[in-house]
Amino acid sequence: MNEKKVMDILQKVQSNTITLQEAYDLIKTNPYDDLGFAKIDNYRYITSNYPEVVFCQGKTTDQLVKIFKTLLKNNNSLLGTRIPKDVYDEIKSLIPELMYNETAQIIYKKNQTFKTSGNIAVITAGTADIPVAEEAAVSLEVMGAEVNRVYDVGVAGIHRLFDKLELINQSSVIIVVAGMEGALASVVGGLTPKPVIAVPTSIGYGANFNGLSALLSMLNSCANGVGVVNIDNGYGAAALAFSILRTISHG
Amino acid sequence: MNEKKVMDILQKVQSNTITLQEAYDLIKTNPYDDLGFAKIDNYRYITSNYPEVVFCQGKTTDQLVKIFKTLLKNNNSLLGTRIPKDVYDEIKSLIPELMYNETAQIIYKKNQTFKTSGNIAVITAGTADIPVAEEAAVSLEVMGAEVNRVYDVGVAGIHRLFDKLELINQSSVIIVVAGMEGALASVVGGLTPKPVIAVPTSIGYGANFNGLSALLSMLNSCANGVGVVNIDNGYGAAALAFSILRTISHG
Amino acid sequence: MNEKKVMDILQKVQSNTITLQEAYDLIKTNPYDDLGFAKIDNYRYITSNYPEVVFCQGKTTDQLVKIFKTLLKNNNSLLGTRIPKDVYDEIKSLIPELMYNETAQIIYKKNQTFKTSGNIAVITAGTADIPVAEEAAVSLEVMGAEVNRVYDVGVAGIHRLFDKLELINQSSVIIVVAGMEGALASVVGGLTPKPVIAVPTSIGYGANFNGLSALLSMLNSCANGVGVVNIDNGYGAAALAFSILRTISHG
Amino acid sequence: MNEKKVMDILQKVQSNTITLQEAYDLIKTNPYDDLGFAKIDNYRYITSNYPEVVFCQGKTTDQLVKIFKTLLKNNNSLLGTRIPKDVYDEIKSLIPELMYNETAQIIYKKNQTFKTSGNIAVITAGTADIPVAEEAAVSLEVMGAEVNRVYDVGVAGIHRLFDKLELINQSSVIIVVAGMEGALASVVGGLTPKPVIAVPTSIGYGANFNGLSALLSMLNSCANGVGVVNIDNGYGAAALAFSILRTISHG
Amino acid sequence: MNEKKVMDILQKVQSNTITLQEAYDLIKTNPYDDLGFAKIDNYRYITSNYPEVVFCQGKTTDQLVKIFKTLLKNNNSLLGTRIPKDVYDEIKSLIPELMYNETAQIIYKKNQTFKTSGNIAVITAGTADIPVAEEAAVSLEVMGAEVNRVYDVGVAGIHRLFDKLELINQSSVIIVVAGMEGALASVVGGLTPKPVIAVPTSIGYGANFNGLSALLSMLNSCANGVGVVNIDNGYGAAALAFSILRTISHG
Amino acid sequence: MNEKKVMDILQKVQSNTITLQEAYDLIKTNPYDDLGFAKIDNYRYITSNYPEVVFCQGKTTDQLVKIFKTLLKNNNSLLGTRIPKDVYDEIKSLIPELMYNETAQIIYKKNQTFKTSGNIAVITAGTADIPVAEEAAVSLEVMGAEVNRVYDVGVAGIHRLFDKLELINQSSVIIVVAGMEGALASVVGGLTPKPVIAVPTSIGYGANFNGLSALLSMLNSCANGVGVVNIDNGYGAAALAFSILRTISHG
Amino acid sequence: MNEKKVMDILQKVQSNTITLQEAYDLIKTNPYDDLGFAKIDNYRYITSNYPEVVFCQGKTTDQLVKIFKTLLKNNNSLLGTRIPKDVYDEIKSLIPELMYNETAQIIYKKNQTFKTSGNIAVITAGTADIPVAEEAAVSLEVMGAEVNRVYDVGVAGIHRLFDKLELINQSSVIIVVAGMEGALASVVGGLTPKPVIAVPTSIGYGANFNGLSALLSMLNSCANGVGVVNIDNGYGAAALAFSILRTISHG
Amino acid sequence: MNEKKVMDILQKVQSNTITLQEAYDLIKTNPYDDLGFAKIDNYRYITSNYPEVVFCQGKTTDQLVKIFKTLLKNNNSLLGTRIPKDVYDEIKSLIPELMYNETAQIIYKKNQTFKTSGNIAVITAGTADIPVAEEAAVSLEVMGAEVNRVYDVGVAGIHRLFDKLELINQSSVIIVVAGMEGALASVVGGLTPKPVIAVPTSIGYGANFNGLSALLSMLNSCANGVGVVNIDNGYGAAALAFSILRTISHG
């Protein structure tokens, strides 16, 4: 809903042409801006406490700039995933208020006021899984959640995990990021009563089949309380973890 | 840990041969009964508020009877999944206190005292998805959670879903059970800010490839806040939903 | 059939060496030009109301120029798909009458006179699906059909779709272009009695497996009246939609 | 919406408790009967000219009887697919008005008055593909369409197809049913300008992988105007073909 | 080589028709008995210290009886895998010296004299994996190796594994048998410097895809020193473990 | 073309209503009998020296009887594959001239007069591959070719193969039938300059994936001169081998 | 076997240190040159009438030069496949006698004297399949066979194929090269009694899965006498076709 | 455990603040250095006789340098796999003591003192498999084992293998590296009683599916005593082979 539409409605309120209720209904029935190539929700934050999120892969830089500008008119937080450094640089020159985390490949504007109770552990099996873990961790931080990072504690040296178990169990939700055989999700699931969100990564080679191995492992976990998101989908894990934190606060 | 072992320890306490602390440690260091073919946890309920759960598929009736008897010595609730009616009948004649739900294929003994706050919506796309949904719903009820069942509201007639949306949004967690193309998970995920646990079912034929279609759909959901469990894994969804409810209560 | 062959036949008619019927048969029995590496149909337009269509991927620029020149001798419309900008530039310098649409990656010459009755809605789930949608839309426009574009109305924010439903239902055929979980095809199929042509796209990542996820979703659609074409096959959807429009006119 | 509900509304109209408009709205807002395990649409026929269709696989006989009885209160035609002979026999003893086609595995009640213009060719590659073809053909006949059956004209003896080509081209839509390599769809697609709906079947063995071979062939067809439905989905092809016929009549 | 052939050769030695060397060569060049449908090695035991092994699946009972009788003429140990109880009963009535282990589905005659040094741990993740583990364990015992069985120590309750770790590390080779996500192989591999042979089982359902999940997990193990055999191939693991034991003794 | 049709044509010849040429054309344009569910070629033997071949799987016994009777009116040889013993027994009672080979699951009537030059080796890796090999061998014998059977010479005991190599190399074409890893095709291909037709079988389990393993092995053979047919397709190998033998005779 | 080895042997013959027979045996027992990274056969041409063939993909240029030089010492024909233009240029500067065909990506030295009887048709479905077809055709020509090229006759315009049918049927063996749905192999197989070698190509996109679609089509061909080689394996088809031609000449 | 932590502990020992036992426990409970992005084991060499191994793929050069420097503080041997030449060059400039093998893509520092008894044969089917074989061979040599290389002895020319058989059988363990159809593993497994470790490679194309073909072949090997590692996992084979050698020495 662009400015002109809103002003039209407000003028009708001022001139008593429509009632307050009618004005509210008009606004409610225009819940997105139509850019032609994209229809942008303006009200999602209010209903869901998310920043507006844009999956940037597959969109042109020109489209992204138009989408971000439109969103920033109505929102004070924003999160864009899968954005390479050079694309960010181009966007930054046009929308200076946007920040960037290169490991996570995330562009964002953070709303400083919102803060969840509880925190979330983000665990990786290896060092190479960190970019996916950072996509989750940075997303959560932009949303307003606190994150405990526990990296490189895979089952090949399981004593590294046990060392961190107390810290992990203090979190409300646990995100496990692992490639190769993805066994860490089952091991963590067996050691904690907390909800575990498993993120398979495409780290590996050969019969890993770009993450299929870890994905199937996690789906077949013999441990209780494990939910799985798409391969390399750090943001998806963050969104699910955040919806659990929010439910904890609001039931 | 069978009775004899416990009595030995307690006699030593009585006779002051060991201290209370030593007795506690002995008990703690024997956290399972070893039946040879199975090692049975006795303390899981205390640590995790689950009933003891047995995945019965692939075990002989003889093994199941021994496992159930051992568990019932130390627990007052128990949940066994994937158990056909004729196997239940045989077990029932030997362990009469066990109950059965045929649609869910679940054998159980319910602990009446435990009760979670909040409730869980269990939704199916079609009628044929109900057995998997009932595995989730009955598991949750045995664990002590309240369930809202909303069945046969798939996207081919989406007005049926909208009619139930208010009811669904009153739940703390939403379990979506769907086969064929599994689109219901994305649609529900787009309509609620609550955590959604998606259960793909093997309902369908042909290019469904025994549930692969719904599984991939759910993993690739464009909606936020969707976690996926294994195909037909109603119990797995229940366990994850329950761990979220428990976290809501205890942080 | 090149000019020389036709002239030979016509001279024989003129000199009464062959009858009109024989001449007709000769022409009919040479229904293509043989370039060695390609055999080019000259009569397809007459029998099917298509422009001549060339799938350009995998052909050298040199081959394409020869094919286009041959086609333009006998046809006044032409459609070439999957052609990158730099290849078009090279061809344009040799055959200036050819036009280009970069988003759709289509080279064409349009026959202004042909026009179908009815129109076709082309819908996308997301912004990244637009190139495939444009391959469909531009193909249809070159063929002579009218297109209604409705982009970025995926199920994660389903209210955007409902807003456009009336417009969609005014079309004779609906093309739904969607990647990731491809749920939009089922939702649209459930909301309209019109034929729906579903185009899975390779948009997504991980367990999307280059479009497999959307493809299986669409094949397993629980909605009635959904036919599926190959992943990213915008042109294929256009061709099927056009054959339906033509059948509407001619039975 | 069962009788009681409708009578309640009508009595309120009679007693002037509600206006006609309110009554209409009440009826409109109850567009399905809720049986708990199934939500049954009552108005689909009016909006879409389909008989009510039930996919029977995966439903219990008891559920089917309840669904059919509910449907027959509001509809004078009905179509149930994937129903074995013995299940039909049981249902028939309770709902005698239902008919059965064993080859097609279809239970139905036909509305004699509705009749489409145009007809549909149903073609098979082999004799073993006939059950799937009959699912399509009988479904179409119950819907009110006329069907031309052309069976066993696969490409191993392509002269059999050419013999029937004139008959095939007189149809408005062509359904091609083929297993093994599924080449017939491409060959037919290359010989006709009419819309072709391809149904891969699971007929074959080995590297057929239960129909995957024919499915991939049809999706990759080099011919124009071919849409594909799920493996063995005769009904799906009928539904799409019927929606095209209906569009021909009504635009 | 049947008796007649051997006697022919020996008679020629006796009658000085051939030299001893020639006789040896003749025997050496007939290293198998040709039954037409099977060619049976008679000398494998001497070269490899295996009992003769027959993979019985896919062979008729009649063929098996002929093969076993032929083998027993030249060998005093024999091992047949994948043999159901009823087939064994039939064979036993004809060849009474053969023994049977029903859990392992193995028919055998054991050579009491051969004994390897060292022993082999056979570990399972769950109770349902035991039949595959027994195929390995019984095969090893028939070959002459000592086995330590450690069953039901999967990662969902990893304390059960740690309890047995000392016992496991005393073995020369460790066979890990696991279905579902197969994580146990990696965990064991990370805890021991001994060679680990991983046997994926088909235990599980859904996205387990008949053992594919465990197979891929084990192939992608992040732990060192893990080799994998075919799904459910208990015998294969035994054969590899035995060849390692034998190499330990003989270099 | 049934008798009546032929008689009609001949009567017209007799009565000089049509010329001989016209009669010939009429016969030529009716090259098959149309049974509705099947279109039966009558002239294939003349053009290709095959017996008429029927793939019986998926056809009802009633359909088979009608097809066989029709074929036997015009042919003196016939071959039906994939026919179980009990179906044969039923057919035999109605068409006593048909013979059966149970291992090969083939029904046939053999034309004694036709005989190819050259012969064909049919080799199997194991005993369990014999049924597929017999489908090839018996098919070839019905067609009139001579077969050398060499069974159970797989690479696990490769000396068995070398023993038969001279015999194998005397054949004009070599059919290699192997399941599991299918390595025999490559080994034979490396040892002979003759054309090798590789038949993967579904013998095996686990990661064999119903023959996929042997199929991929054979397609990726590093040896020269290996062509592959479908999994378990013994007849297909026979047909290709026979077409090579026929080409040898006729160029 | 390099020159030095041969000379050593010959000198021993000259000096009567070894007999002629011993010399022959020495030569026979050194049938390859060992370059360390490659073991090169020197005698294959004599036994099989092939030129020495090198699959160049995956070998370094340095390795190729050493292999080619070694081969050219003992052979007067040579064939190297999968060699890019720039690699050829480098090799050509070192071994000037080698020729190149860029479309086929083949390096070769042709033996002018050998000539097979009979010829081979190489057919493609489309223009983009030509590089694979040329790999087959050029390989055959280097081997000494005559080739008839028939390109771009796919089933989308099947009249183009019928036009060439007489020419095709004059060949002894037919190679069909097709991507996408690969239907051409079945159509050709149904129209000819000659052996057909089907080469699936990776031409296509989406559900083509890099040639899987055409591969499965060809393996499931309903036509008789079709053998399949690996995706894009033009050389493999040539080698099989050549072995058939050779068998035709020599039995 | 960095220097500071160790010094803290030792100072406490010196000042008698903690006992020797406590100091030992502190050291034991810090068995790794925590770099944040990586947790580095310092004690693995002592328990397992491996050099510290780093899988470098997916790690940044900056991370690798930090990891290597940390490791070299506590170890005098190190092995890093999957490292390209340009990355090595950068690392070498910072850590000059590290060596490199380009074919194997391995960075290492070798401990000269450790030496295993026995040796290991590393065999390849083709020349293109050598890089994977060298990853195995160089890894073994860095670990302290002796390697016999036997390259390019694939089954297409099986006489090359037989020539080397005696050499191969003198090794304690045999590593077989093969792509394409991977048949060499079965052939070698059938010819030796030694443990065989099979490494499928991704060498090949088309239906090789990046090594799937060789992987499945090796998993389905009909030979005894074959264990499989991941596609292209030369290091994994080395680690397993080394653990067998070590077990030979220590039981």
DSSP string, C78-117: EEEES--HHHHHHHHHH-TT-EEETTTTEEEE--SS---S
Q: How many other CB atoms are there within 10 angstroms of residue B159's CB atom?
A: 15
Among the listed residues A98, A141, A87, the one whose alpha carbon sits nearest the alpha carbon of residue A116:
A141
Q: What SS3 state is found at G149? A: strand
CATH 3.40.50.1970 given to domain B119-250: yes
What percentage of chain G carries pLDDT values higher than 90? Answer: 63
Residue window 92-151, chain G: list those with CB within 8 Å of chain C: 126-128, 130, 151
Q: Inter-chain contact F243–G194, Cβ cutoff 8 Å? A: yes
Contact H152 G39 (CB under 8 A): yes
Chain A residues near residue E219 by CB distance under 8 angstroms: 181, 206-207, 213
For chain H, the residue count is 251
pLDDT at F73 over 50: yes
Q: Residues C5, C6, C12, CA angle at the centre, nearest 5°?
A: 95
Q: Are the beta carbons of D128 and F39 separated by less than 8 Å? A: no
List the single residue in D with minimal CA-CA distance to G160. Answer: D190
The confidence band for D2, taking pLDDT boundaries of 50, 70 and 90, is: very low
* Residue E1 pLDDT: 42
Q: State phi, psi for C170 to the nearest 5 degrees.
A: -80, -10
Nearest CB among A53, A226, A251 relative to B240 is that of A226
Residue C1: pLDDT band (50, 70, 90) is very low
Q: Which of D53, D194, D236 is closest, CB to CB, to C247?
A: D194
Measured CA to CA, the distance from residue B27 to residue B93 in angstroms comes to 32
Q: Which chains touch H (3 or more CB pairs under 8 A)?
A: A, E, F, G
Provide Rg for chain D, Cα atoms: 21
Do chains B and H have 3 or more beta-carbon pairs under 8 angstroms?
no
> Could you give the CA distance from residue E174 to residue E147 in angstroms, rounded to a whole number?
10
pLDDT at C29 over 60: no
So what's the pLDDT on residue E10? Answer: 61
Phi and psi at G205, nearest 5°, equal -165, 175
Lowest mean pLDDT among C215-219, D20-24, D90-94, D175-179: D20-24
Instruction: Decide which of E8 and C244 is more confident.
Output: C244
How high is the pLDDT of residue A47? Answer: 47
Helix H234-250 vs helix H130-143: angle between axes, to the nearest 10 degrees?
A: 30
DSSP one-letter code for E50: P
End-to-end CA, chain G = 31
> How high is the pLDDT of residue D250?
64
User: Domain ranges in chain C?
Assistant: 31-109, 119-250
Range name among C16-20, E125-129, G177-181 with the lowest pLDDT average: C16-20
The share of chain C scoring above pLDDT 90, in percent, equals: 63
pLDDT digits (tens, 9 = 90+) for G27-79: 555 556 788 888 776 544 444 566 889 999 999 999 999 999 999 987 788 99
Reported as a pLDDT band with limits 50, 70 and 90, residue A46 is very low
Bridge partners of residue D122, in order along the sequence: D149, D175
> CA neighbours within 13 Å on the CB side: how many for D72?
17
Question: What is the DSSP-derived secondary structure letter of residue H82?
Answer: S
Region H215-228: mean pLDDT is 95
pLDDT 10s digits, H119-167: 999 999 999 999 999 999 999 999 999 999 999 999 988 888 988 888 8
Q: What does DSSP say about strands F106-109 and B119-124: parallel, antiparallel, or unpaired?
A: unpaired
**What are the residues whose beta carbons fall under 8 Å from the beta carbon of A14, sequence distance 6 or more?**
none
| Helix or strand run (H / E) with residue D27 | helix D20-28
Say yes or no: F223 contacts chain E, CB-CB below 8 A.
Answer: no
Per DSSP, E102 falls in state T
pLDDT at D20: 63
Alpha-carbon A203 to chain mean position: 20
Nearest residue of E to residue A156, measured between CA atoms? E190
Q: What is the mean pLDDT of chain A?
A: 87
- Residue C246: pLDDT band with limits 50, 70, 90: confident
Residues D9-34 have pLDDT tens digits of 666 766 777 776 666 556 554 556 78
Residue H37 forms contact with A (CB below 8 Å): yes
Q: Compute the Cα dihedral for H223, H229, H235, H237 and give only its sign.
A: negative
pTM for the predicted model, two decimal places: 0.90
CA distance E162 to chain A (A): 11
Sheet holding D146-150, edge to edge: C146-150, C119-124, C173-178, C196-200, C226-228, D226-228, D196-200, D173-178, D119-124, D146-150
**How many Cβ atoms sit within 10 Å of the Cβ of residue G203?**
30
Q: How far, in Å, CA of A51 to CA of A64, rounded?
A: 16
| C80 vs C88: CA distance, rounded Å | 10
The answer to whether B164 contacts chain D (CB < 8 Å) is no
Mean pLDDT of B234-238: 97
Residue F25 binned pLDDT confidence (cut-offs 50, 70, 90): low
The DSSP secondary-structure symbol of H127 reads G
Contacts of residue B62, Cβ cutoff 8 Å, sequence gap at least 6 = none
Chain centre to alpha carbon of residue G159 = 30
Rounded-to-integer distance, Cα E238 and Cα E145, Å:
10
Q: Which amino acid is at H222?
A: C
Secondary structure, 3-state, C22-64 = HHHHHHHCCCEEECCCCEEECCHHHHHCCCEEEECCCCCHHHH
How many Å is the maximal CA-CA distance in chain B? Answer: 72
Residues of C in contact with A38 (CB under 8 A): 127, 151-152
Contact A55, C205 (CB under 8 A): no
Task: Report CA Rg, chain G.
Answer: 21
- ipTM for the assembly: 0.87
B34 pLDDT tier (thresholds 50, 70, 90): confident
* Angle at E37 (CA atoms; ends E34, E43), nearest 5 degrees: 40
Instruction: Judge contact between B129 and B141, C-beta under 8 A.
Output: no
User: Does the pLDDT at position F114 exceed 60?
Assistant: yes
Q: How far is F13 from chain D (nearest CA, A)?
A: 24
> Does the pLDDT at position G142 exceed 90?
yes
pLDDT for position D242: 94
DSSP 8-state code for residue E51: P
d(CA B150, CA B164): 7
pLDDT for B52 = 84
- Note whether E174 and E188 are within 8 A (CB): yes
- Give residue A147's pLDDT: 96
**H57-111: pLDDT as tens digits:** 999 999 999 999 999 987 788 999 999 999 999 999 999 999 999 999 999 999 7
| pLDDT score, position D140 | 96
**Structure tokens that stand for D111 in this block:** 């509305």
Mean pLDDT of F213-231: 95
Is residue G60 classed as helix, strand or coil in its secondary structure? coil
- Residue G151: name the closest of G178, G113, G189, G171 by CA: G178
Kindly state the tokens that stand for H205.
């194309």
Give G132 or D164, the one with higher predicted confidence. Answer: G132
Say what angle helices H184-191 and H212-219 make with each other, to 10 degrees.
Answer: 30
pLDDT of H27: 55
Q: What's residue A33's pLDDT? A: 75
Identify the bridge partners of residue B123 per DSSP, sorted by sequence position: B150, B176
The answer to whether G49 contacts chain F (CB < 8 Å) is yes
What per-residue string of b and e applies to B197-208 under the rule 16 or more CB within 10 Å gives b? bbbbbbbbbbbb
Q: C-alpha angle with apex F203: F199 to F205, nearest 5 degrees?
A: 135
- Give the pLDDT score at D154: 92
The pLDDT score that the predictor gives to residue C156 is 87
C-beta separation of H243 from E189 below 8 A: no
Q: Sort out which chain A residues have CB atoms less than 8 A from C151's CB and list them.
A: 36-39
H-type alpha helices, E56-211: 61-74, 85-94, 130-143, 159-162, 165-169, 183-191
Residue in chain C closest to D244 (alpha carbons) equals C195
Beta-carbon count within 10 A of C85 CB: 9
pLDDT-based confidence at residue B199 (cuts at 50, 70, 90) = very high
Q: How far apart are CA C94 and CA D146, in angstroms?
A: 52
Q: Are D31 and B159 in contact (CB under 8 A)?
A: yes
pLDDT given at position C46 = 43
Report pLDDT for F46. 43
- Taking residues G173-191, report their average pLDDT: 95
Q: What is the pLDDT of residue C118?
A: 82
Instruction: Kindly state the helix (H) or strand (E) to which residue A108 belongs, with its residue range.
Output: strand A106-109
Q: What strands lie across the sheet with A99-101, from one edge to the other?
A: A52-55, A78-81, A106-109, A99-101
- Report the run of H or E that residue A93 belongs to, with start and end: helix A85-94
Of B39, B200, B212, the CB nearest to E160: B39
Residue A233 tokens read as 């989908």
Of A230, A236, A243, the CB nearest to B195: A243
Does residue F31 belong to the interface with chain D, where contact is any CB pair within 8 Å? yes
Q: Distance from first CA to last CA of chain B, Å, rounded?
A: 31
Signed CA dihedral, H70, H72, H77, H79: sign only:
positive
What is the rounded average pLDDT of the residues F135-154? 95
Q: Are F121 and F154 in contact (CB under 8 A)?
A: no
User: Looking at the predicted structure, is the pLDDT value of residue C95 above 70?
Assistant: yes
DSSP state letters, F176-231: EEE-TT-THHHHHHHH-SS-EEEEE---S-GGGGGGHHHHHHHHT-SSSSEEE--T
Task: Compute the average pLDDT of residues B50-67.
Answer: 91
Q: Which of D2, D69, D75 has its CA nearest to residue D34?
A: D2
